[in-house]
Amino acid sequence: MRSGPGSILWTRYRYSLPAFYVHLNLSHDLIRNSVKGARTTIVQRNRALLQLPRTLFNQRLNFYSRAQSRFLAIETLLRLALSVASQMRTTTASVYRMRKLQVYVRLL
C-alpha cells in the first residue's frame, strides 16, 4: 500500500487497553499535518484543497504522552476527519467513508 499525498490508509492507533484499536480512514498527510498542527489545508484524494477550522489545530497532538492525552488526540483526529469527510463531494465513496467515521465517533 503506497503512502504519501493522495493515498488513503487504514491507520491503527493502540493505547492503554489491550486489543483496543481505533481505525481511522485518513490520508497520511492529514495525520502528519494534524500532529504538526502547522497547516490548515490538506490535499485529499481528489487533489482538492480543503479548508479546515483553525480550532481543530488549537491543541498540539502528541501520541507519545499519557493514555488520556492520546485519547484526546485520537478524538480530535476523528472530529477532524469527520469535518473533512463532510466537505468532500457527495459521492458514494465519500458518503460511505463519512458514515464509518460517524460510527467511530459514536463509539469513542
pLDDT of 27-83, one tens digit each? 444 444 444 433 333 333 333 323 334 333 333 333 334 445 555 555 666 666 666
Domain of residue 37: give its range: 8-107
Q: How far apart are CA 22 and CA 76, in angstroms?
A: 13
- Per DSSP bridges, beta strands 41-43 and 21-27 are unpaired
For residue 36, tell me if it sits in a domain.
Answer: yes
For residue 50, tell me if it sits in a domain.
Answer: yes
The count of structural domains within the chain is 1
Q: How far apart are CA 80 and CA 31, in angstroms?
A: 10
| Strand stretches in 1-108, DSSP E | 8-14, 21-27, 41-43, 49-51
Kindly report the pTM of this predicted structure: 0.27
For residue 3, tell me if it sits in a domain.
Answer: no
Q: How far apart are CA 39 and CA 47, in angstroms?
A: 16
